[in-house]
Amino acid sequence: MIDAQLLVTGLIFGLSLGSIFFLMAVGLSLCFGLMRIISLDQLLYYSVGAYIAYSVSVTVGNLWLGLLVGMAVGGVAGLVVERVVFKRIYERDITFSMITSFGILIGGVGIIKHFWGVVPRPVAVPIDAQINIVGTVLPVYRLVVIAIALLVYFGIWLFLNKTIIGKAIRAGIEDVEHVEGLGIDVYRLFSITFIIAGALSALAGGLHAPLIMVDPQMGLEVLAFAFMIVIIGGLGSIKGTLVSSFLVGQVVSIGSLIYAPLAQMAPFAIMILILLFKPTGLYGSPLLKR
C-alpha cells in the first residue's frame, strides 16, 4: 500500500501536471468551440514557449520574464498563423484544419531544430524553496504552477462572462451565424481567440520547462495527452477541459506510483470508457454541423 506522504506528493504532482495540461488544452478546446477547427499548432506554441523560457532564463536569469516573452511570441505566432493559414480554410471540413495544423506543427518542429538544435536542454527551477505540509515536503514551484492555472481559469471565466468580447465569443460558440447577423465581426473574434490560445499554450510550455527537459519533440510527446483531455472533457468546453486535465493529471501521477508503465495507458482506458457512455465527452454538447 502507498503511504500517506507519497500519496500527498503524488496528488500535488498530479495537480501541477493537470494545471499544465489545462493551459495547453484550453487553446485547442476554445478554437474548436468557436471556429470548429482542430488547431494542433497549439502544441507548437507550447514548445516555442518552453524554448523561449529556456533562452531568456539562460541569458537574463529570470524564468518569469521568459514566460511573459514566450506568451507574447505565442500570441503573435498564433495571430500570424491564423491570418495566413486558417483564414483561408474556415469554410472547409474539420479534417482539413487538422491536417493543415499538423503540417504547421511538424514544420515548426523543424524550425525549432534549426534554431536550438536537437539536444535536450535543462531549465533551472526558479523557486528552489520547499514547503512542509502535514509532514510532506513539497516544492513550492509546483504549487505556484497550480495557482497560475487556477488564476488563468478564473481569468478566462471573467473574460467570457463579464466582457462584451467574451460574451460575443461565448455566443459564437453557440451559433456563429447569429452572432454575425448581429453585426459583430466574427473574424476579429477568431483572431482574438487565437491570440489567447497561443499565449496560454506558450505559458503552459514555459511553466512545464523546469519540470522536464526541453527538446524539439516535446510538443509531439504531449500531443496524445492534449487529445485525450479535450476528448474526455468534450471539445469546446472550458469547464470540461479543467475537470479532465486534473483527472488525467491525477491518473498519470497516482498511476505511476502504483505501476509506472500503467500511467501512460490509464488515461486512454478512461477515454475509451467515457466515449462508450458519452460519445461527446463529459461536458461536450452535441455538435452543430457547420
Residues engaged in binding other proteins (CB under 8 A): 32, 38, 85, 88-89, 94-96, 98-100, 102-111, 113-114, 217, 220-221, 223-224, 227-228, 230-231, 235, 260-262, 264-265, 268, 271-272, 275-276, 279, 287
| Cell 460558440 -> residue | 173
- Quote the least distance from Cβ 75 to other proteins, whole Å: 20
- Spatial contact of 208 and 226, defined as CB atoms under 8 Å apart: no
The alpha-carbon radius of gyration of the chain (Å, integer) is 19
C-beta of 181 vs 286, nearer to other proteins: 286
d(CA 139, CA 23): 20
Nearer to other proteins among residue 182 and residue 260 (C-beta): 260
Angle at CA of residue 8, ends 261 and 147, nearest 5°? 100
For residue 221, the minimal CB distance to other proteins (Å) is 7
d(CA 171, CA 180): 10
| φ/ψ of residue 138, rounded to 5 | -125, 140
Select 115 or 131, whichever has its Cβ closest to other proteins.
115
Give the shortest CB-69-to-other proteins separation in angstroms.
23
Kindly give, in sequence order, each residue whose CB lies less than 8 Å from that of residue 216, ignoring residues fewer than 6 positions away: 47, 109, 112, 113, 116, 118
Cell numbers found for residue 76? 503573435
Q: What gap in Å lies between CA 240 and CA 229, rounded to an integer?
A: 9
Distance in Å, CB of 220 to other proteins, minimum: 5
Q: How far is the CB of 11 from other proteins (least distance, A)?
A: 23
Q: Is the CB of 89 or the CB of 140 nearer to other proteins?
A: 89
Which one, 69 or 109, has the nearer CB to other proteins?
109
Question: CA 117, CA 123: separation in Å to the nearest integer?
Answer: 15
Nearer to other proteins, 71 or 228 (CB): 228
For the bound state, the minimum distance from the C-beta of residue 199 to other proteins, rounded and expressed in Å, comes to: 22
